[in-house]
Structure 1
Amino acid sequence: MHRPGILGNGLKRLASAPRSRRSFATATDADVESARRYCLKQLQTSDYDAHLIHRFIPPPVQDTYAALRALNLELVRLPELVSNPTIGVMRMKFWQESIDKTFAGQPPREPICILLHRGLQQLELRAGSSSTAKSIKFWVSRLIRTRERHMDNRPFATLASLEDYAEHTYSTIMYATLASMPLRSMHVDHLASHIGKACGIVAVLRGIPILAAPAQPVRSPSGLDTPSRTQAILLPLDIMAEEGVKEEEVFRQGPNAPGLQDAIFKVATRANDHLITAREMLKRLKAGQDPGHEFEHQGEGEHQYFEEENNDTARDIRRGFGALLEAVPAAQWLLSLEKANFDPFAVKSSGWRLPWGVWQALSKERI
């Protein structure tokens, strides 16, 4: 999730990086520290939720987490920062190639890649296995592919397709974070799936006031200012049809558009349902019971598990709980949305309540 209205510039080269014809070079400790400062600054200014949660992620994983969230920010920004879709596709290809090189041990001199590579090096020292790195690469590549498919800000056909998007973005970032610990647990991944879906739906709802507003112009290579995108409403089309919401009325009337708040209520309810499910699962698992329902993504992609890796569920939850804290900002934003009568244009910042809520959740191991 990111704070609405805060858009950064494109990723900059490290100022201290020496000029070279090669696309990569061995990063020094100074390079890594510069990359770390860059990524953390991006989180502080444009993804405050991740900025808070970062410090509660296990220290050996913090670099990887910061790099993953900074990468997500970079991908989210692309539609705003490019003047035409072709350039956007080229940037997505650049990121995929950069990630491939990073996992091959040859990171380009981009802060995100340098910091991610350092995180992978630390993981190798702790775990000594390449299988975990392959798992992380799978999740990061899936994130990039999903962001590329949704660069045009087309609306979701159904609420189910919005959930699928959330699973392939925010849940996927959580899977990559857990893998970097390394932690392979079906139950913790199951919790991450529900929390990530809630976070993805909340991110779409938070973005409504931004995407419904006229786009800011982007300076093209020819020197002309052209809109980087058209106005958009990403609410599922089936929900919009049920409530009679029309895009043009939202663009003209904002929160006063007929049916908009009812449609947002329905979508927000689904996000809240996922958080309720995660809370109930967490209670059951901590009590030594089964989660209450099967993990629908078991067997997909890297969701392969072995019996011996899931013997101590309570231990796994403790180890992975920092990643599960993503539930707290999502829950607080949904509460603020409810207080605003499901008008996303009127939602106010949680202020001090968010860091306090994150700390409370961690200390009580409760989401």
Structure 2
Amino acid sequence: MMSTRCLIQYKNTLLPLHQTLCRSVSSKASNSGDDIQYCIQLVKKFDYENFLCTLLLPKTYQNPSFVLRAFNIEVAKVQDNVSEVNIGNARLQFWENAVDKLYTDSVPAHPVVQALNKVEKLSKRNLKRLVTARINLMKNKRFLNLEELETHSENVVSCLFYLQLQVAGISDLQADHTLSHIGKAQGITNILRSVPYIPRTSPLPLDILATHKVSQEMLIRQDTSKATQDAVFQIASAAKIHLDKARSLKAKLPPPALPFLLPSIAVTSYLERLQRAEFNLFHPHLKVRDLLWNNVKKNLLTY
């Protein structure tokens, strides 16, 4: 989804992976302080694909993007680390309060909040939408239908893209529209990818599971029957529809917005591997880290 001019610029930055990553992280850490270093390492550890994509953004936008993604990780980790709703809500309330305190004299001492406090042009509304979506998921633990999953993806992943555009000073309805679809595709894909690692209730939409007569117990014991694969196919197809819609809008985007579409490559790669695995979410090949950097180089000319 990039113009030829942008493609040349980004293609020329694609040096061998191991050399590039080490240089980029050490340089950022030494120049941006401990808070930024914390954010970069957090994204590298918990969101490696977006870590790589962020390294390909213009340098001016890299650190703010790392900070925003680190904020998203910290909020998402709450649900992963607690089983009691009340405890989870209390921890999420900390992040909601932290957003309210940005740009005041009482900003919490947490390194991500401190780094976030230094990022200009942030929309508190979008930051709070992201936290509120996690609070709702903590309370409900599942999606009744695909529409609820899409709404959650919009409020979490798409909101993160909107915040990146705001930091970059890009105000464009077509860019928002395109990234809304990419955010929904990535959000749906993230839920699919999470299923093999969730020991309790699966977050897959209940209406689709019911249509294919797939129970929560089947997912917990990692069932690979045709019924389960058909349900996964239907959900993955929804993500693919959003990706295709985003691609159809690429010609209308302002060039500065194009680098922010790079995460769509990771989504495309996973969906392609899922298809090759015949929509078996528990296939061993899907648990192996994808060679995303090679996929970026391979697919850059078509994006």
- TM-score band by shorter chain is 0.7 to 0.9
Q: Distance in 2 between matches of 1:360 and 1:116?
A: 34
Supply the AA of the counterpart residue of 2:55: R
Q: Is the 8 A contact 2:224 2:282 kept in 1?
A: no
Q: Distance in 1 between matches of 2:167 and 2:105?
A: 16
Q: Which residue of 2 aligns with 1:149?
A: 136
Q: Which residue of 1 aligns with 2:188?
A: 201
Q: Is the 8 A contact 1:158 1:237 kept in 2?
A: yes
**What displacement does 1:119 show?**
2.3
Q: Distance in 2 between matches of 1:151 and 1:58?
A: 35
Q: Distance in 2 between matches of 1:114 and 1:31?
A: 16
Match of residue 237, structure 2, among 269, 278, 292:
269
Match of residue 124, structure 2, among 130, 134, 137:
137
**What displacement does 1:256 show?**
2.6
**What displacement does 1:67 show?**
1.4
| Secondary structure, counterpart of 1:208 in structure 2 | helix
Structure 2 residue 147 is the aligned partner of structure 1 residue 167: no
Within a 5 Å distance, the mapping from 1:241-252 to structure 2 comes to 241-252=210-221
**What displacement does 1:259 show?**
1.4
Deviations 1:25-55 (A, max 9, x none): xxxx989511111111111111111110111
**What displacement does 1:273 show?**
0.8
Supply the AA of the counterpart residue of 2:237: T
Q: Distance in 2 between matches of 1:196 and 1:139?
A: 14
Q: Which residue of 2 aligns with 1:322?
A: 259
Please state which structure has a larger fraction of its residues in helix. 2
Within a 5 Å distance, the mapping from 1:256-295 to structure 2 comes to 256-257=224-225, 259-283=227-251, 285=252
Q: How much identity, in percent, do the aligned residues show?
A: 30
Q: Which residue of 2 aligns with 1:357?
A: 295
Structure 2 unaligned blocks of 5 or more: 1-28
Supply the AA of the counterpart residue of 1:82: V
Q: Which residue of 2 aligns with 1:5?
A: none
Supply the AA of the counterpart residue of 2:293: P
Q: Distance in 2 between matches of 1:259 and 1:82?
A: 31
Deviations 1:253-280 (A, max 9, x none): x133561111000000010111111112
Structure 2 residue 177 is the aligned partner of structure 1 residue 182: no
**What displacement does 1:76 show?**
1.5
Q: Distance in 1 between matches of 2:82 and 2:202?
A: 19
Q: Is the 8 A contact 1:325 1:361 kept in 2?
A: no
User: CA distance change for structure 1 residues 339 and 105 in 2, over 3 Å: closer, same or farther?
Assistant: farther
Q: Distance in 1 between matches of 2:58 and 2:105?
A: 23
Q: Distance in 2 between matches of 1:43 and 1:329?
A: 15
Structure 1 unaligned blocks of 5 or more: 1-28, 121-131, 214-230, 286-312
Deviations 1:153-173 (A, max 9, x none): 622111111111111110110
User: CA distance change for structure 1 residues 205 and 113 in 2, over 3 Å: closer, same or farther?
Assistant: same
**What displacement does 1:117 show?**
2.0
**What displacement does 1:350 show?**
5.3
Supply the AA of the counterpart residue of 1:97: N
Larger radius of gyration: 1
User: CA distance change for structure 1 residues 71 and 263 in 2, over 3 Å: closer, same or farther?
Assistant: same
| Secondary structure, counterpart of 2:40 in structure 1 | helix
Q: Distance in 2 between matches of 1:208 and 1:185?
A: 35
